Chain A
Amino acid sequence: MLLGTPFHARTQPLNEAQVWRRWSGYLAAGAYELTHEREYWAIRNAAALIDVSPLLKYHVHGPDAARLLDRMVTRDVSRLGVGRVLYTPWCDTEGKVIDDGTITRLDAQRFRLTAAEPNYRWLSMNAVGLDVTVEDVSSQVASLALQGPKSRLILNACAADSLDGLAYFRVTHTRVGGVPVTISRTGYTGDLGYELWCDARDAVAVWDTLMTAGAAYGITPTGILALDIARVEAGLIMLDVDYTSAHVATIPEQKSSPFELNLGWAVDLKKAARFVGRKALAAEKTSGSAWQMVGLEIEWPNLERLFWEEGLPPRIPNTTVRASIPLSSLGRQVGYASSSCWSPLLKKYIALAHVEAAHAKPGDLLMFEIMVQHKHRYTPARVVPLPFFNPERKRE
């Protein structure tokens, strides 16, 4: 049976349609209201409160904790200071991505790693010969994302310490509602936002405090449908949607390297530690990648015309489509979109897409498949830089 998260006592009564999605064995609200639209706007205009407790969380501690993570991930953990967070993918020996997540240095010898899928065995395999302990704390640690332009004001209204000094990708320890909470300035929306980490037993107290303090700022419990749009706008990929874990793929073609996922910036070939996949990644960096992840904007005039010819107004999916959509160039398929949605903020039909490297330049034109009145049609889409949306307040 799917489990309720530590916030279930609060989220369950709020879920108007009682529509739940499954996320790592937990119940996660798709939307609390009957449509997700107001929740989406809360992310961009007010503050959205999102239960992200189903994330996999590991505590890695001991004298060799940094060595273990440095051996495993593509970024340089040795240079991560206490109180800082980094986002990183990690790869198999062939340099193909297994998963991605954040690493928080809680103190010199203690880290928290988040992941989309279980990674305990992989951590153990990498820990051979090291003096380090890995604990799966997924069910002990509750997590909430508070995302949106008003999020800082809300936290300042209810946390024991001001969040004004907390820079992007930093973490601080304070109290909210009288209980200890770790707050990181991170999120999955590409907006100003925070993630709160607390003991699962304190979850309800933290939720209640935030909801009370946030009422004046339009705090809105938000489900994952709205989140899924925000993360596409932010150009953030999702495991099992935008890529297949190298540990799950059945054929090599299903795997992606970090370079192919637009994560080349997160591959530190110069770091001191040998890390899994280094050799393959160095080779790929030299020889070039076969694929590239790009942003796409589906152009409006032709789309409108195709529907018009059938006597219909344009029909655009109102949630993120997590399905593969073929892309072609001169009649040959050269890629596929893995996540696509209508961006209510940008007023654009956008997609995250995998394309052959030759078609990845901003401005390149590709043909995007759509269904118009049960007929396959192709319509032009333009390659654009990622992310689609990157407000200054995210980092300010």
Chain B
Amino acid sequence: MSTKYDAIIIGAGHNGLTTAAYLARAGQRVLVLERRDVVGGSVVTESPWPGYRVDTLQHFGGLRPDIVRDLDLARFGLTTTRVGLTALQPGGGALELGSGGGARAQAIGAFNRTDAERWPAFTALMAKVAGFLNEVYAAPFPRVPQIDAAEAPALAQLGLKLRGLGKKDMIEAVRVLPMSMLELLDEWFESDLLRGALAARGVHGLMQGPMGAGTAFLFLHLWANNDSLFQTRVKGGAGALSEALAQAATGFGAELRLGAEVAQVKLSGDRAAGVVLANGEEITAQRVVSALDPRRTFLGLVGPDALDPEFVWATQNIKLRGCVAKVNLALDGLPTFTGVTDAGLRGALTLSPSLNDLERAYDAAKYGGLSERPYLEVSLPTLAEPGLAPDGKHLLSVHMQFAPYRGEQADWATRIEAIVVNALAQLAPDLPGRILHSQVLTPRDLETRFGLSEGNLYHGEMMLDQILFMRPLSGWAQHRTPIENLYLCGPGTHPGGGVSGASGRNAARQILKDQKA
């Protein structure tokens, strides 16, 4: 069959664009189709109000450094800065894990001497285990248990890497990964504020409290994505990252079409042969690569008819329980956060004063309710980059957890805003009076706007039964699908969620490899 394209990529999120860029770089004829009029998916900066550049959903995140290098993204203006982690204390004050190792230990020491002493050993071990995960994330995961001969060396290599940690750390890594944050932190720290701040990373975007098994895995996964406990901020807003990727992809020759919603993956027999757009247009290609989540891809674009019932059933059972709401506020001036330094405010601010507070925030969500005292991750991007708002104005960007998708009620947008503003007012009493504009995105809004099924940020929860060779489904790792020539490149595949580009890059590698075979 002669067609114009080697590959059609569905969705111009950061993973779709990464796949497109790698494929185009390898000389493939690539077409990227994006439903919205803007690239980036959930990594996007938009202007809901004149003069403001708002990170609509994701406000932190960089790509894996090797991807940045491979695609020469610096050339397209991608600049990122590592930011600190500031744990806010209700009533004022904060634990500022801002700069350099010594300063961090000192900051911790102000709260708890023992914790400060343990800090270096903790970070060294976590970095080592996360480093191991990062190695695992560098390539598609072998299919367990049906590995074929070609995959056996990859699995053996993973074994060697695990051994490479050394006997003691190897056992430590295997022991720690399935733990709860509670169990992990009980072994290390005493200070509520520090435990709350760390535990929050283990439940970020996850429908689970820090007492739930496997939350240590998410903590380490996000550590691996960032190559650090600390996150990064993109200059110009998170969307600048996606734009740099889009430029790189088109620079390598990929075509990009915005406002082009794919309605269906077109099949020829049991193979993908192209796509049908919502307007009825058909475009053929040798391969179709979906950056959408597996449920949307298989049940929405392919349709259950073309798939085995067991596969359909398993796809339907992928856990995607979104629990994050996004609140963006435009402020008439910088609010006064009592007892927090300017440097501290430039970091990722977390309101999770203790591990118990996080677990209680989750308690409500278990039964479908909103957390009245939620966990907040806050960013004040205009401190470092005033240009994102008109003169003298500021932006405040909040991930609010938990707002469980399955419990959502009509009044949640209003209630979420009230809950968030009320919680922030405990930290910065003048904040409510400074609000000029607000935007609230509930999990349902995230689903509608970004196509995230159930509003899940990760295209599939990062839980122990949905990772490694079980992502998206056991037997279907390696970006391939039951439909020949249809691939997945989104975070619903191994290694999974967070802004890293690893799924997109690994998918491109697999596609190129399969083509040679």
Contacts and interface: CB of A to CB of B under 8 A. Distances in A.
B188 interface: no
A279 to B, nearest CB: 7
B303 interface: yes
Interface string B260-303: 00000000001000000000000000000000000000010001
A122 B312 CA distance: 12
Interface string A119-142: 000100110111000000000000
Given A71-B305, A274-B305, A279-B270, A129 B310 contact: no
Interface string B369-401: 000000000000000000000000000000000
B234 interface: no
B391 to A, nearest CB: 52
A129 B270 contact: no
B7 to A, nearest CB: 25
B309 A125 contact: yes
Contacts of B270: 279
Given A71-B305, A128-B299, A93 B316 contact: no
B303 A129 contact: yes
A273 to B, nearest CB: 8
Contacts of B308: 93, 276
A125 B313 contact: yes
B304 interface: yes
B306 interface: yes
A130 B316 CA distance: 13
Interface string A276-303: 1001000000000000000000000000
A110 to B, nearest CB: 21
Contacts of A125: 309-310, 312-313
Main secondary structure of the interface of B (DSSP, over half): helix
Contacts of B305: 71, 129, 273-274
Interface residues of A, number: 12
A235 to B, nearest CB: 30
Q: How large is the interface on B (under 10, 10 to 19, 20 to 34, 35 or more residues)?
A: 10 to 19
Interface in A39-75: 71
A93 B304 CA distance: 14
A221 B461 CA distance: 59
B264 to A, nearest CB: 13
A333 to B, nearest CB: 32
B299 A129 contact: yes
Contact of B306 (A93, A126, A274): A274
A274 B308 CA distance: 10
Contacts of B304: 128-130
Contacts of B316: 128
Interface string A243-277: 00000000000000000000000000000011010
Nearest to A93: B308
Interface in A73-128: 93, 122, 125-126, 128
Most buried by A among B306, B308, B309, B316: B309
A279 B307 CA distance: 11
A119 to B, nearest CB: 12
B241 to A, nearest CB: 35
A363 to B, nearest CB: 40
Contacts of A276: 308-309
A129 B304 CA distance: 6
A129 B312 contact: yes
A356 B152 CA distance: 37
A122 B309 contact: yes
Contacts of A122: 309
Contacts of A130: 304
Interface string B134-166: 000000000000000000000000000000000
A63 to B, nearest CB: 15
A76 to B, nearest CB: 15
Most buried by A among B303, B305, B310: B305
Contacts of B312: 125, 128-129
Interface string B302-346: 011110111011001000000000000000000000000000000
A63 B312 CA distance: 20
A126 B313 CA distance: 8
A274 B303 CA distance: 12
A129 B296 CA distance: 12
Nearest to A121: B313
A93 B306 CA distance: 12
Contact of B310 (A71, A93, A274, A279): A93
B266 to A, nearest CB: 15
A273 B299 CA distance: 17
Nearest to B309: A125
Interface string A225-241: 00000000000000000
A243 B316 CA distance: 31
Nearest to A129: B304
A122 B308 CA distance: 12
Contacts of A279: 270
A128 B270 CA distance: 19
A372 to B, nearest CB: 48
A115 B309 CA distance: 19
Contacts of B309: 93, 122, 125-126, 128, 276
A129 B306 CA distance: 12
Contacts of A126: 309
A93 to B, nearest CB: 4
A396 B310 CA distance: 43
Nearest to A123: B309
B310 A128 contact: no
A48 to B, nearest CB: 38
Contacts of A128: 299, 304, 309, 312-313, 316
A129 B303 CA distance: 8
Nearest to B303: A129
A93 B312 CA distance: 12
Contacts of B303: 129
A105 B310 CA distance: 27
Contacts of B299: 128-129
A378 B309 CA distance: 45
A128 B307 CA distance: 11
A273 B270 CA distance: 13
Nearest to B313: A125
Contacts of B310: 93, 125
Most buried by B among A71, A126, A128, A274: A128
Nearest to A72: B309
A200 B343 CA distance: 77
A122 B306 CA distance: 17
A122 B309 CA distance: 8
A301 B382 CA distance: 101
B409 to A, nearest CB: 26
A129 B312 CA distance: 9
Most buried by A among B299, B306, B308, B310: B308
Nearest to B311: A93
Contacts of A129: 299, 303-305, 312
A237 to B, nearest CB: 24
A48 B306 CA distance: 45
Contacts of A274: 305-306
Nearest to B312: A128
A279 B303 CA distance: 17
A129 B299 CA distance: 7
A185 B299 CA distance: 40
Contacts of A71: 305
A71 B308 CA distance: 10
15 contacts: A71-B305, A93-B308, A93-B309, A93-B310, A122-B309, A125-B312, A125-B313, A128-B299, A128-B304, A128-B316, A129-B305, A129-B312, A130-B304, A273-B305, A274-B305
Given A128-B304, A273-B305, 17 more contacts: A71-B305, A93-B310, A122-B309, A125-B309, A125-B310, A125-B312, A126-B309, A128-B299, A128-B309, A128-B316, A129-B303, A129-B304, A129-B305, A274-B306, A276-B308, A276-B309, A279-B270
- The 6 A-B residue pairs with the shortest CB-CB distance in the complex, in nearest-first order: A129-B304, A125-B309, A125-B313, A93-B308, A128-B312, A126-B309
